[in-house]
Amino acid sequence: MQNKSRNFRTVLAGYIRQQDQFGHPISLRYKNNSTFKTFFGGFITILFRMGIIVFLVFEIMKVVDKKSNITNSQYRRNLVEDRRQYQIDLTNFDLAYNVFSSDPIITANIDRYVSVQLQEVYFAWSKDGASYTMDVKDLPLDKCPPGRFLGETVQTDNFGLQFNYKCPTTLNTTLQGGFATKEARYIQVLVGGCNQSILNKTKPNLKCANDSDIIKALDVLELNLLTSNQFVDVNEREGNPVKTIIKNFYATKYISIIKSNFFRKHNLLLYKS
């Protein structure tokens, strides 16, 4: 048990280092919750920052008419001073996740082994910095219906989005700040061993697997997180120069897989036209 969680931490540390290397705004946090450690041997928290850390904002400054040149400007904003809140909803952003395992029996019954929560978080330090408040709201999750990811079809079909992924059924929130700011708003993805009270909310008839089976399952768990991302195609003369693509983040504690590097730099695009 102790060995297992130490091992887990080592892998996570490697993962986080890799994030730094690629400037990737997603971080894994080992939640040092003794109850959870006892029961499940580990709990992964992925704080999904969506470009809050590496915050590259592209804006189309000027599209005089369709035939004129498109100017693509790029800003880096200091989030400590920039108090702005960025509104995101399903008309400009989307995300989905898939948890699976190399063991097909686990994959087929994944809800009995893993609980995943997507949460909107508002975080604020008190004036004296001695305490903080945190408001957390669960986003309802369901199988992804057609038409998600702003109607993108090629990549969503490749990923089998409608068959393999779960999406938040609604999304309308704001992003603000970062880890170093007094106030922050972000979305977090929590992945942990099956929690009966969470499972009861969606599948009340299903029972979590026993603890030893859950720990084994967490060891070979793989997570793929998709987010929509947009960029400006300056060579686009006919249609909309704002293109939507899907980025994926892959995470596992399965050591032989974590070595292959799936991680890509991720930017959040906000645009005006």
Ligand X SMILES: *[C@@H]1O[C@H](CO)[C@@H](O)[C@H](O)[C@H]1NC(C)=O
Does residue 69 touch ligand X according to CB under 6 A? yes
Does residue 32 touch ligand X according to CB under 6 A? no
Handedness of CA 152, 265, 170, 214 (dihedral sign): positive
Residues 210-229 as x/- pattern, contact with ligand X by CB under 6 A: x-xx----------------
Taking contact as CB under 6 A, which single stretch among the options 54-62, 128-136, 196-204, 246-254 is the one that binds ligand X? 196-204
What token pair was written down for 57?
A: 């904002």
Does residue 195 touch ligand X according to CB under 6 A? yes
Strand partners, 132: 125
d(CA 241, CA 37): 49
Q: Which is nearer to ligand X, 207 or 265 (CB)?
A: 207
Cβ at position 260, least distance to ligand X in Å: 30
Q: Which is nearer to ligand X, 18 or 174 (CB)?
A: 174
Q: Which is nearer to ligand X, 22 or 39 (CB)?
A: 39
Taking contact as CB under 6 A, which single stretch among the options 17-25, 55-63, 70-78, 197-205 is the one that binds ligand X? 197-205
Cβ at position 3, least distance to ligand X in Å: 18
d(CA 269, CA 266): 10
Does residue 231 touch ligand X according to CB under 6 A? no
Cβ at position 129, least distance to ligand X in Å: 27
| CB-based contact 148:84 (threshold 8 Å) | no
Residues that bind ligand X (CB under 6 A): 35-36, 39, 68-69, 89, 91, 172, 195-198, 200, 204, 210, 212-213
